Amino acid sequence: MKAARLIVVEGPMGAGKTSLTRLLAAAMAIPAVLERPADNPFLGDFYRHQQNVLATELYFLMQRRQTWDGLEGDRLYVADHGPEKDRIFTPLTLEAETLRLFREIRAALSYNAPRVPLLIYLDGPVDVLLERIRARQDPWEASMQRAYVLRVQDAYRQWLRHYPGQVLDLSTVAGDFVADSEHAKILTEMVKNKITELGEDW
């Protein structure tokens, strides 16, 4: 059975991943796969007190496993997170021994990881990201610190240097595509052209 195919939109919090995912899903008439942080009962304690860190990461791991297992084989989706997301965040959040345990648990799990023909990367100045995070008024993000967002940005950049797949870096051109419909149209056309260039149908 062929694996599902996933256009992944990645980047730090506040970069516009979910907004771009929804935009692309509508423009390309393909299903959107959205992360559900509000379902994670440990996330608030993690951001407020750095507690329940392993539980937070394991919950996300199991949530993603359930999501990937529910995708239809060979169908193209667009998602605001990808199969490698824990590899970006867990080295930031977990101590060495706990990280080793997490990786052992991850390796023991079996699930149908989707194929990622294209990764889209979004980013922005940290103060812009923080402004967007505050504007969302999500309770689990209320205590997020600037230093943590900077660490997440750096972790993404380090990870991208070694990412083996196709990357469309929109971090310098994304702008405010939510408010600017013409800019949104330009971005969607860039993605469509890249997917066509890679020989992927939808």
Q: Which residues are annotated as a binding site for ATP?
A: 11-19, 132-136
Residues whose CB is less than 8 angstroms from the CB of residue 77 and which lie 6 or more positions away in sequence, other chains included: 4, 5, 6, 7, 30, 31, 32, 33, 71, 114
Residues whose CB is less than 8 angstroms from the CB of residue 118 and which lie 6 or more positions away in sequence, other chains included: 7, 8, 165, 166, 167, 168, 191, 194, 195, 198, 200
Biggest CA–CA distance in the chain, Å, is: 49
Q: Check 80, 123, 169, 176 and give the catalytic one.
A: 80
Other C-beta atoms closer than 10 Å to the C-beta of 32 total: 18
Residues whose CB is less than 8 angstroms from the CB of residue 86 and which lie 6 or more positions away in sequence, other chains included: 57, 60, 61, 64, 102, 106
Does residue 80 carry a catalytic annotation?
yes
Catalytic site residues?
80
